[in-house]
Amino acid sequence: MADPRPLWRQAFDSAEKFVGPKLESVVRTDEFARATALSFQAQAALTRRLNGVTAKLWHLVNLPAGTDVLRLRAQVGALDREVRRLTLRLEQEQQAHRVEERTDDAPDQPDGRPGPHPPRGGTQRAADS
């Protein structure tokens, strides 16, 4: 019976059986771990250096750098949270004030129900001529 796996998979599995154990032995060494850590540190240092250079170039042409945009986004987020907090506080105080007004008003009806509300000062339409 023929192997149902595609030809590329058969080739990969054959190579993996030969190379896999040797790679496993290399990957599990302390030297490999140190080399990997050093490569990550070098990459991070290069990225920081490149970001610094590009930020200076953007500032030379009077444009914001990525760090400037990130700082502004953080500030806008903080302002948004503060506005939401103040809005909620204002709504709570307005609601408490409305409840306080209702309880302060003396009831106009003998059964204890509040009387009719005074008219609101909304805009009025001009009379048609």
Taking the C-alpha atoms of residue 100 and residue 94, their distance in angstroms, rounded to an integer, is 10
pLDDT at 109: 59
Nearest to 66 by CA among 78, 54, 77, 48: 54
pLDDT at 9: 94
* 44-86: pLDDT as tens digits: 999 999 999 999 999 999 999 998 999 999 999 999 999 999 9
Taking the C-alpha atoms of residue 105 and residue 95, their distance in angstroms, rounded to an integer, is 16
* 78-124: pLDDT as tens digits: 999 999 999 999 999 999 988 888 877 655 556 656 656 566 665 66
Residue 12, pLDDT > 90, answer yes
**Residue 57 gets which letter from DSSP?**
H
Taking the C-alpha atoms of residue 12 and residue 67, their distance in angstroms, rounded to an integer, is 45
The dihedral region occupied by 21, where left means phi > 0, alpha psi between -120 and 50, and beta the remainder, is alpha
Residue 17, pLDDT > 70, answer yes
